[in-house]
Structure 1
Amino acid sequence: MLLAQAAWVAKTVHLLPEPQGDRDGIINPEGEMTKPSTSAIRFVAVGDSLIGSSGVTDQSLGLTPLMAQRIANATGKSVQWSTHAKLGSTMRRVRYRFMDELEDDIDLLFLCAGTNDVLARRNLDDWRDDLSAVLDIASTKAKRVLVASSAQAFRSPRIPGMLSEEILRRIDKQTEMSKQLCASRNIAYIDMAHAPLDINEEFWAS
């Protein structure tokens, strides 16, 4: 039954493409785009479709510039931000593709991937190896690292109940391992998979 449901979802459910728009910029507390500055906070986000802004109409409406604006508001400083992401990315792609793209001296590095690893049924040993390597590289490139768990894809109205339960079971195991790996390196971890989000029909992109 699980295989049948998974096959149906693979054929009928598709993520929206990544929108057009700039994947980097610099923004001040007033919400204005400014010129590069050596005093600006360097904020970099790396990951999957959530970082790639799948679901909105332009990159400027995505998660990375939104977080950059919040950081600017909280610190009173300009924030120079950039996004490194691709639809469907696993932590292995983050490890072997995106981490090589990053420069050093990043002030805050935000990592968000994992849902695609679960959907691809990658095993926990592979997840441990890839996330461990990414965290070690990130620690050499950024002053602060922030890691987010898988998203709540299991709550999608397009995913049947039995398959949803299996996805959540796999996310639970992935989340627990991720917490341990981050804690051992004193890296902050956000459990988005179990956050009490108010999800209704308007939450989901078309």
Structure 2
Amino acid sequence: MKRLNDNSGYVAWAAALLSGLPLFAWQAYRLRRDTPRLEEAPGPREGEVAGEAPVIRLAVIGESTAAGVGAPDHARGLAGRSAAALAARTGRAVRWSAHGHNGATARQTRYRHVPEVDRGTGVVVVALGVNDVLSGCAPETWRHNLEKLLASTRRRAPGAIIVVSAVPPMGHFPAIPQPLRALLGVRAQAFDRISALVAAACPRALYVPLPYEGGSDYFCEDRFHPSALGYDRWGTLTGEAAALRIQSAAS
């Protein structure tokens, strides 16, 4: 796999952080203080979308978005909406499950949530990046942890297509004040480029970009997590990408 040899983005990020450290520290403190801490989506963490046999098993693993924070329930969160798009495109029934928690990193997800995935799962959606960006870890650490996560997922569900979703566009999160938002946006973009490289090197994995379409209605009340509309758009992208890969493999 191609390694990330150019760390200029990280060096620039670190230099900017140091130069504006007092301001960024104050903004980060206010962000934690003032942003409402929403609960994970209520209700069952698994369900099924009707369709023809054989059933496709889909699991979403990752951080708070995998846990449906900001969604009314999991059926209208990332897992349920990915399953709906997958079923609509393939015509097959999809049994979905959600495995994530608030604050999860790639390393934590590998140890806590990958073991929860059913071994017969056909599609695993990986939704991560925000907490790793916020944690201050280096790009090479993100790459290493994501590689290990995908390898563990491959061993857990050998037949699964692994959908690596893009790192969310933090440079557009309304809850994050400027200039901290711009700084985290650059860092998220750097991590996202690594995600694409890691996915390209992993067998039966694919990277799905997450374009920002604008509009506050894509965010829930905390202005940090997706709304039901945001999850619907995101799930449509991941579900349709998985469906295209399944159909391509079958042809």
TM-score range, shorter chain: 0.7 to 0.9
Name the counterpart of 1:130: 145
Shift of residue 161 of structure 1? 1.6
Out of 38, 52, 62, the position equivalent to 2:67 is 52
Counterpart of 2:118 in 1: which secondary structure?
Answer: coil
- Number of residues of Structure 1 aligned to a counterpart in Structure 2: 196
Counterpart of 1:161 in 2: which secondary structure?
Answer: coil
Corresponding letter in the other structure for 2:98: T
Corresponding letter in the other structure for 1:62: G
Name the counterpart of 1:116: 131
- Normalised by the length of structure 2, the TM-score is 0.73
CA contact (8 A) 1:29 1:69 kept: no
CA contact (8 A) 1:15 1:54 kept: no
Shift of residue 80 of structure 1? 1.0
CA contact (8 A) 2:59 2:123 kept: yes
Shift of residue 88 of structure 1? 1.6
Partner Cα distance (2:44, 2:113) in 1: 17
Name the counterpart of 1:150: 167
Partner Cα distance (1:8, 1:52) in 2: 24
Out of 153, 161, 164, the position equivalent to 2:178 is 161
Which residues of structure 2 form unaligned runs of 5+?
1-22, 222-251
Identity %: 25
State the superposition RMSD in angstroms.
1.8
1:7 matched to 2:17: no
The one of the two structures with greater contact order (alpha-carbon pairs below 8 A, sep at least 6) is: 2
TM alignment of 1:162-177, pairs within 5 A? 162-177=179-194
Counterpart of 1:20 in 2: which secondary structure?
Answer: coil
Counterpart of 1:45 in 2: which secondary structure?
Answer: strand
After superposition, the C-alpha distances for 1:159-198 in whole angstroms (9 at most, x for unaligned) are 1121011101211221122221111224210222xx1x33
- Normalised by the length of structure 1, the TM-score is 0.88
Shift of residue 29 of structure 1? 3.8
> Cα 1:19–1:185, aligned 2, differ >3 Å: closer, same or farther?
closer
Counterpart of 2:220 in 1: which secondary structure?
Answer: coil
Partner Cα distance (2:179, 2:129) in 1: 20
1:22 matched to 2:44: yes
Partner Cα distance (2:189, 2:76) in 1: 30
After superposition, the C-alpha distances for 1:71-127 in whole angstroms (9 at most, x for unaligned) are 111111111111101112111111111112223121111111111111121222321
Counterpart of 1:116 in 2: which secondary structure?
Answer: helix
1:178 matched to 2:195: yes
Name the counterpart of 2:105: 90
> Cα 1:24–1:48, aligned 2, differ >3 Å: closer, same or farther?
same
